[in-house]
Amino acid sequence: MRDSRNQFRARSAGVSQRWTAYHWGGLTFLVAVICLLAFLAWQIRHYLQDEQKSPVQTILFSGEFEHVSITELERLIRTSQPGSFFALDVNEVHELIEGHPWVYRASIRKQWPHTLQIYLVEQQPVVAWNADMVLNPFGEAFNVAPEPLELPQLFGPGGSETTALEGYNAMQQLLATSGLAISELSLSERFAWQVQLTNGIRLNLGRQEFMDRLQRFIDVYPLLAKQDKPIQYVDLRYDTGLAVGWQQEEENKTDV
């Protein structure tokens, strides 16, 4: 009986030792696998971030643009994102590109294995604003030099960009029916309108009913144009009629 107990204990001890050995062997194998995976992940990460092994070889620009310098934009991208194709931050590039004054909108995506594709929507200059900025068709100002663009000049208080542009568009459309065009438009702090035409005539339209007053000028302009003296200005700030100043007689006015 005692021998049986001793044999059972011996067998139990052997099983326990084998289980312990198996347990530690498995744990050692698991730790080794984890270490290997971590090492491989580090190697892959290092490889993907290495510009020499996975560079951004090509930056493709598309869209319709005239004023944007592609060379300048590519230089900005490569300077701000010197890493690999995988390390390149698309959001940062998007912010950088749309920060350029001539870029209105940009769409950016990566194309495997080494290309960055950029679609650009360029700002559309419509008029110069306060001699140092330009307005797009939505009345949004962007900071470029207006002089080389030869645009109509708009002036007005800060925050009145949309109002000034809408007024310009409405007046220009009305004047075009008579072959006239605006070279300069000013909107005062009190929102009074003054217009300079491309033929040199200055129109004082005042604050109220400026479109009706402009129509009054268009109606009488053929009669004024027949005069021998060139017109300097026309003051339309009257309920009825207008006042004309002639270039050769600056001190005299003719009421019509």
Output the DSSP codes for 43-81: HHHHHHH-TTTS---EEEEES--SS--HHHHHHHHHHH-
Rounded mean pLDDT, 105-125: 93
Residue 71 and residue 79: Cα distance in Å, rounded?
12
Q: How buried is residue 42: exposed, middle or buried, by Cβ count under 10 Å (0-12/13-18/19+)?
A: exposed
Higher-confidence position of 120 and 255 = 120
Please name the residue that has the structure tokens 């053929």: 222
Q: How confident is the model at residue 120 (pLDDT cuts 50, 70, 90)?
A: very high
Amino acid at 41: A
| Cα end-to-end span (Å), the chain | 140
Digit-coded pLDDT (tens) for 11-30: 555 545 555 655 656 666 66
What DSSP element (H or E) covers 31? helix 2-49
Residue 102 has pLDDT above 90, yes or no: yes
Query: Considering only 37-51, 110-124, 153-167, 169-183, which range has the smallest mean pLDDT?
Result: 37-51
Share of the chain above pLDDT 70, in %: 76
Q: What is the mean pLDDT of the chain?
A: 84
Taking alpha carbons only, the member of 173, 232, 243 closest to residue 182 is 173
